[in-house]
Amino acid sequence: MYTASESRYEKMLYKRCGLSGLMLPAVSFGLWHNFGDNGDYEKMKAMCHTAFDNGITHFDLANNYGPEPGAAERNFGKILKEDFLPYRDEMIISTKAGYDMWEGPYGNWGSRKYLLASLDQSLKRMGLEYVDIFYHHRMDPNTPLEETMGALAQAVASGKALYVGLSNYDGETMEKAAAILRELHCPFIINQNRYNIFDRGIEKNGLKTMADKLGKGIICFSPLAQGTLTNRYLNGIPEDSRVRTDGRFLKEGALTEEKLAQIRKLNDIAADRGQTLAEMALAWLLKEDVITSVLAGASKPEQILDNIKAIENLEFTEEEVAAIDDAIR
């Protein structure tokens, strides 16, 4: 029988999510990878235990995480039932809907039909009455924004979600969505977007600036750029790396000599700061108030402990920030 560590809240940093009352751990646990039916269940449990024992209260999922779609929620639900039900009120559990989930015209995008049906399915898989945050996973160019936002508001009104969020939105669309949700008195508090030292997309599409202006939090997925912002590829591509074992997300062709040279420069900057490259990459995100949390996945418990070390040094000099920018030009 699992018993959580009594010291679990002593070291973690918690940051307020925009102007809301909710605080999230600076490092959250993402279940995008390694929680599908091809994963090791005992290792999944060990990672969840390690995360919670060290103050990571936020566990992030989506309806389509697997493989197969739904598998991550199902496996996490089993872990919840076996180990975490006594701690449910200490946990933030989020899920999303927006990508392909089932056959036919009602199994993806942003219709009211899809979003509310998907949330019901997610709750059933996890054995929950509600999630803490329910996200629309991607912008839908064909469904009226009012319909999608109305579905999110309905999720809260029905008691099946406490807060809502938007994922993969740009700044202009998020501003319009926020206005609708405000009229509906729906607690929209957070944006989930890809953001890391290599990928500055939310700086270019206005999301980062608009989130700050409107008082909405940002949680970053892929903060380590699929492992390239670690020491994993400094000396070539390991045979057991994701590039070799799962080429869906990081292609070998992406690791050009130019990219490897950038990684080595960044690694040198991190070493001068007394950090690993991964620690510095997470700290680089968390140094800003608008960034509430980083979503770091893991394939083993030790990686979770390594990620948490990032919060030990979140201060950057202007020279260090400039050096990081220069390294990736």
Reading the chain (329 residues) residue by residue, the pLDDT tens digits are 899 999 999 999 999 999 999 999 999 999 999 999 999 999 999 999 999 999 999 999 999 999 999 999 999 999 999 999 999 999 999 999 999 999 999 999 999 999 999 999 999 999 999 999 999 999 999 999 999 999 999 999 999 999 999 999 999 999 999 999 999 999 999 999 999 999 999 999 999 999 999 999 999 999 999 999 999 888 767 666 656 555 555 666 778 899 999 999 999 999 999 999 999 999 999 999 999 999 999 999 999 999 999 999 999 999 999 999 999 99
CA-based radius of gyration for the chain: 19
pLDDT value at position 233? 86
Q: What is the rounded CA–CA span in Å between residue 249 and residue 246?
A: 7
| Contact of 155 with 134, CB cutoff 8 Å | yes
pLDDT value at position 246? 58
Q: What is the rounded CA–CA span in Å between residue 136 and residue 261?
A: 37
| Contact of 142 with 105, CB cutoff 8 Å | no
pLDDT value at position 249? 58
Instruction: Supply the DSSP string of 77-132, one letter for each residue.
Output: HHHIIIIIGGGGGG-EEEEEE-S--SSSTTSSTT-HHHHHHHHHHHHHHHT-S-EE
The structure's pTM equals 0.95
The β-bridge relationship of strands 27-30 and 58-60 is parallel
CA atoms within 13 A on the CB side of 178: 20
The domains found in the chain, sorted by start residue, are: 14-231+278-316 (3.20.20.100)
Instruction: Supply the DSSP string of 3-44, one letter for each residue.
Output: ---TTTTSS--EEE-TTSS-EEESEEEE-SSS-STTS-HHHH
Contacts of 58 (CB under 8 A, 6+ apart): 24, 25, 28, 29, 91, 92, 93, 94, 293
Count of CB atoms situated within 10 Å of the CB of 39: 19
Angle, helices 171-183 vs 145-157, to 10°: value is: 50
Tokens 């390294």, residue located = 327
